[in-house]
Amino acid sequence: MHKKLVALVVVAGACFAAGPQAFAQAASSDQSAAAPQSGIDQDIRLLRLDIRSKKKQIIAANLILTDAEATKFWPVYDQFTNDLVKINNDKYAVIKEYAASQGNMTDEQGVSLTNRSIGVELQVAQLRAKYVPIFGKVVSGKTVATFFQIERRVQAMIDLQLASQIPLVQAQQ
């Protein structure tokens, strides 16, 4: 079961990948909300924690902050990350459901998963928009722009790596 989990990939920073079979196994072994976390779910949780740490390191290494700015910036960043984690929980739930239905997805499931995935993307965009003025209160506008450039680049690498592990729906037929 654990061999199906794709390891943490570092590509110019940090990228996250978990193969769809691992998500399928995790979803199928997670029969009830009260059930203990499966080994795969535990691995995914630990990888996500590691990615957050690496992402923060990348941002710290590339964002020029004075000591005074850093003191104000990092608590806001941590809150942003906590809010992003909540949205990403939905993202990974969609991926697990997709993987669990691999090979036997109905048209209704396809539409539902697509809508939920788009909804997650919208939530992330709304979260970023919400935090622009919040970050703007603690650092300059250029620093805010730089932060979001870095954050989006790292997230794009993670998303690309993740997408590369998920087969197209039509390929499942």
pLDDT digits (tens, 9 = 90+) for 47-87: 677 777 888 999 999 999 999 999 999 999 999 999 999 99
Shortest CA distance to 163 belongs to which of 86, 100, 112, 94?
94
C-alpha to C-alpha distance for 115 and 154, rounded to whole angstroms:
24
- Mean pLDDT score of the chain: 77
Structure tokens belonging to residue 110: 């396809």
Lowest mean pLDDT among 9-13, 58-62, 108-112, 162-166: 9-13
Higher pLDDT, 103 or 126: 126
Of 45 and 149, the one with more pLDDT: 149
Amino acid identity at 36: P
**Residues forming a β-bridge with 9:** 15
What is the per-residue DSSP string for 104-116?
---HHHHHHHHHH
DSSP 1: -
How many domains are contained in the chain?
A: 1
What is the domain range of residue 77? Answer: 2-172
Q: Is the pLDDT of residue 10 over 50?
A: no
pLDDT of residue 3: 27
Question: Among all chains, which residue has been given the structure tokens 């960043």?
Answer: 77
- Decide: 106 and 28 in contact? Cβ < 8 Å: no
Please state the pTM of the whole predicted model: 0.72
The whole-number pLDDT of residue 173 equals: 55
